[in-house]
Amino acid sequence: MAEEEPIIKVRGLVKAFGDHVVHDGVDLDVRRGEIIGIVGGSGTGKSVLLHQIVGLLKPDAGRIEVFGESVRDTSDEEYRRLRRRWGVMFQDGALFSSLTVRQNVEAPMREQMNLPDDLRETLAGIKVRMVGLPENAHDKYPSDLSGGMRKRAGLARAISLDPEIVFLDEPTAGLDPIGAADFDTLIRELQSALGLTVFMVTHDLDSLHAICDRIAVLADKKVLAVGTMAEMLEIDHPWVREYFHGPRARAAQGKPRPDEVD
Ligand SMILES: Nc1ncnc2c1ncn2[C@@H]1O[C@H](COP(=O)(O)OP(=O)(O)OP(=O)(O)O)[C@@H](O)[C@H]1O
């Protein structure tokens, strides 16, 4: 059987800021329904790659297709249609501080859908419940929430339009290990329940072990390798070796995956 077209296809991506070249020939395929973790040293351009894929930054050269369509060479109307099919959770949650959690989740719906107020509120409430936030959090402002709850609110907003792809920029950064593990479990559960594809920039080795189907390594301005954790352990490259074989990696290897826990 022919292999399914990748849901995200990046070819020959080049991106520089002034004379600082961040990407020089990045290629990447993301498969529908997978959780792919994007790793790499600090400043290797993981967030810049995410921002280019979702059309917030313009590449200098190369091509990016999502759902088989170019993100760049397209009309505003077509880009808006594409954008409705993915959700993004930025590094700090990027919630509107003047809106409550539910209003934050309603914001993309207001922008993109023409719904009666009560239906929109009900739908937003469902999303907030789906990410495990308690009833009393719905009408709170972001500043009244813990870091973990803010992340959940950011995730609720990312899924507000029933996307096919969710982009997560360091979702577990800043969480304590238990909070991070809970968040990993939530991502896996939502991915499986909603059939999502998850593109996740992360530094978190526990997340890579626990929930990622494949890992892509950014190094030397390119995607150096893509594969399973077992495949990463075989790669002979200084950064990859240090990252995947270091003491933190050994600690992460000993932990069970969420689907292995009763
Ligand atoms: N708008 C911008 N203008 C100039 N330089 C930028 C801009 N955005 C990113 N950069 C630079 O591009 C490089 C890659 O940034 P990026 O944030 O993608 O790294 P990263 O791999 O996500 O790093 P980290 O793991 O530290 O978050 C960095 O050197 C950063 O300073």
On whether residue 142 sits in a domain, the answer given is: yes
pLDDT of residue 114: 86
Each of the 262 residues of the chain gets a pLDDT tens digit; together they read 556 889 999 999 999 999 999 999 999 999 999 999 999 999 999 999 999 999 999 999 999 999 999 988 888 889 988 999 999 998 766 889 999 999 999 999 998 888 899 999 999 999 999 999 998 899 999 999 988 899 999 999 999 999 999 999 999 988 888 889 999 999 999 999 999 999 999 988 888 888 999 999 999 999 999 999 999 999 999 899 888 887 666 666 666 665 555 5
Q: Is 46 in the pocket of ligand 1 (CB under 6 A)?
A: yes
Residues 182 and 71 in one domain: yes
Where among 136, 162, 188 does a domain terminate? Answer: 162
Residue 169 CA: nearest ligand 1 atom is: 22
Whether residue 22 has its Cβ less than 6 Å from ligand 1:
yes
Q: Decide which of 162, 187, 217 is a domain's last residue.
A: 162
Are 58 and 153 found together in one domain?
Answer: no
At which of 107, 136, 162 does a domain end? 162
Q: Residue 164: CB partners within 8 Å, gap ≥ 6?
A: 7, 32, 67, 85, 86, 195, 196, 197
pLDDT, position 89? 93
Whether residues 22 and 48 fall in one domain: yes
The number of helix segments (H) and strand segments (E) in the chain equals 10, 10
Any ligand 1 atom below 6 A from CB of 58? no
Q: Closest Cα to residue 184, out of 170, 195, 197, 164?
A: 170
Same domain, 63 and 176: yes
Residue written as token pair 């002979």: 236
Can you give the pTM of this predicted structure? 0.92
Total domains in the chain come to 2
CA dihedral 128→129→133→138, nearest 10 degrees, is 50
- Domain range enclosing 143: 97-162
pLDDT of residue 12: 97
Shared domain for 30 and 139, answered yes or no, is no
User: Are residues 210 and 122 both part of a single domain?
Assistant: no
- With a 6 Å cutoff on the Cβ, whether 91 touches ligand 1 is no
Beta carbon of 23 within 6 Å of any ligand 1 atom: no
Which of the listed residues 14, 20, 22 should we mutate to test ligand 1's pocket, taking the one with most ligand atoms within 8 A of CB? 22
Nearest C-alpha to atom 5 of ligand 1 is from which residue?
17
Return the closest-CA partner of residue 92 out of 153, 38, 37.
153
Q: Looking at ligand 1, which residue's alpha carbon is closest to its atom 14?
A: 45
In whole angstroms, what is the distance from residue 168 CA to residue 93 CA? 9
CATH number of the domain at 31, please. Answer: 3.40.50.300
| Rounded distance from Cα 45 to ligand 1 centre (Å) | 5
Question: Token pair for residue 222?
Answer: 């390119």
91 is a domain residue: no
Domain identity same for 16 and 112: no
Residue 260 located in a structural domain: no
How much is the pLDDT for 245?
A: 85
**End-to-end CA gap in the chain:** 36
Specify whether 183 is located in the same domain as 232.
yes
Ligand 1 neighbourhood includes 48 CB (under 6 angstroms): yes
**CA-CA-CA-CA dihedral for 128, 130, 133, 137, to nearest 10:** 20
Residues 6+ apart with CB under 8 A from 7: 30, 31, 32, 66, 67, 164, 165, 197
| Claim to verify: residue 173 and residue 154 sit in the same structural domain | no
Would 9 be classed as within a structural domain? yes
Residues 47 and 155 in one domain: no
Q: How far is the CA of 44 from the centre of ligand 1 (A)?
A: 7
Whether 78 and 172 map to the same domain: the answer is yes
